[in-house]
Structures are given as structure tokens and as C-alpha cells.
Structure 1
């Protein structure tokens, strides 16, 4: 990892520790030797009130890849985007997915065809994750 990238992520981590939204957490993964891997982060994102994801966030998050237009250099990415902005963007997408730029075909089709069924599926997944101990 280049020095500029490492320095930027270290500063992001310091800023996050000083000021982050209530209920969120973000921390770099630890390597076997105890050092921090600043390229891989464990995060918790609470669902907004009155949404299918309300109060649900992983206490032991499953591994996933983030696919956001704000991370795409050809779309909205800017070097000044912070970890805080990325996580708030994910929180917004949980309840208000962007059908103009879908990341998952099955979820996109269900959302477009039957939003009530989509919301039932979201709640079902949240309940299953909670039963497996993956949600707080």
C-alpha cells in the first residue's frame, strides 16, 4: 500500500474515532501479527427508524464487498469522500436502493415488481441473521 494511501486511511481512522454517527462502528481488521489492515474494515451500520432494517446491524458482520456508485471513479467517486460518508451512503441504500444502478439483479427485480414482497424478504433476512447471531 502506498504511503499516501496508508496516511490517508490512518487519518480517516483517527477522525472516525473522534466523530462518528451514533450506532455505527468501523475498524480495520487485525492481521495475525496484530497489525492493522487498513484496506479491510469491519463495520456496523444501524438501520434507520421506520424501515425494514430498523435497529438491525451486524454484530458479527458477514464478509461482503461494497458496491456503491460513490466508489466508482467513473461515477461519483472523489478523493475527499470519507469513511463516514461511505457508511452513511450504505445506510441510505438499505432502505432506498437505487433502481437506476442495481448491484444485485434478484433484489432489483423484486424491488421493482413487488416492493411489499421486497420488504418482507428484507425483514426475513434480518430475522435469519439475528437468529444466527449475526445481528445485534
Structure 2
């Protein structure tokens, strides 16, 4: 099984801007027919990423295709940082805050980014 590390820069148009987020990528033996397991090592405040770093993203599960490259996967994770999917959350409390108090969500996400992702 292959094991990679990657870095995702917090997207400029998000509360994660300026942050440097480490992710690990585990390739299963039957890759590319099965999706890689990608998880955040850096703590991130997000409705689709839990405290273990697990990511809820369709292309890492049922929407996986062997045609997807790791570059496309990382781009999709970047897009998820900018545009969370609160209707398919891993962390319901954060999803609720995102839907009902966007300013508080963005403030909290920004403070976590400063605390954990800005060395």
C-alpha cells in the first residue's frame, strides 16, 4: 500500500485562507479501482471534516472513478473548503452553525486556521 503526504493551501475566498493543511493519502492495493483514503492531519473546523480528519466527499466514496487523478481529488477537497456541503455533514453541529449563523461559523473556522494551520 502506498502512502503519500500532501499540503493543501487554504483557499483565498474562504475562512481557511493563509492556512497550510497537511493531508495523508493511503492507496489501497486495488487502486485505482478503489478510491484512496484521504484524511486531514491538520485540525480543521468544517461540517464535512471530523476531528479524526476524515473527509465526507462523494468522489472519495460512491462517486469514485478510476479516471480521477490525485490532483483532481485535492482540487475537490479545496473546493469543499470553500463550499461546504451542510446537507451531508460529518459534524452535524458545525453544519447547523454553517446554515444558521454563517458569521460565527466563519469566525470559528478562521480562528482554528490561525491556531492549527499557520505554524
Pairwise same-fold verdict (TM > 0.5): yes
SS of the equivalent of 1:77 reads coil
Aligned to 1:55: 18
Decide which structure has greater helix share: 1
Residues 1:81 and 2:68 aligned together: yes
C-alpha separation between the residues in 2 aligned to 1:56 and 1:114?
22
Aligned to 2:8: 45
Calculate the aligned-residue CA RMSD, in Å: 2.1
Instruction: Give me the TM-score of the superposition, normalised by structure 1.
Output: 0.59
Residues 1:105 and 2:105 aligned together: no
Instruction: Give me the TM-score of the superposition, normalised by structure 2.
Output: 0.67
Decide which structure has greater strand share: 2
Q: Displaced runs of 4+ in structure 1, greater than 3 A?
A: 59-63
**Residues 112 and 125 (structure 1), Cα distance of their counterparts in 2 relative to 1, 3 Å cut:** same
Residues 1:69 and 2:32 aligned together: no
Q: With CA pairs under 8 Å and 6+ residues apart, which has the higher RCO, 1 or 2? A: 2
Structure 1, unmatched stretches of 5+, are 2-37
Aligned length: 93
User: How much does 1:78 deviate?
Assistant: 1.2
SS of the equivalent of 1:45 reads strand
**Residues 78 and 59 (structure 1), Cα distance of their counterparts in 2 relative to 1, 3 Å cut:** closer
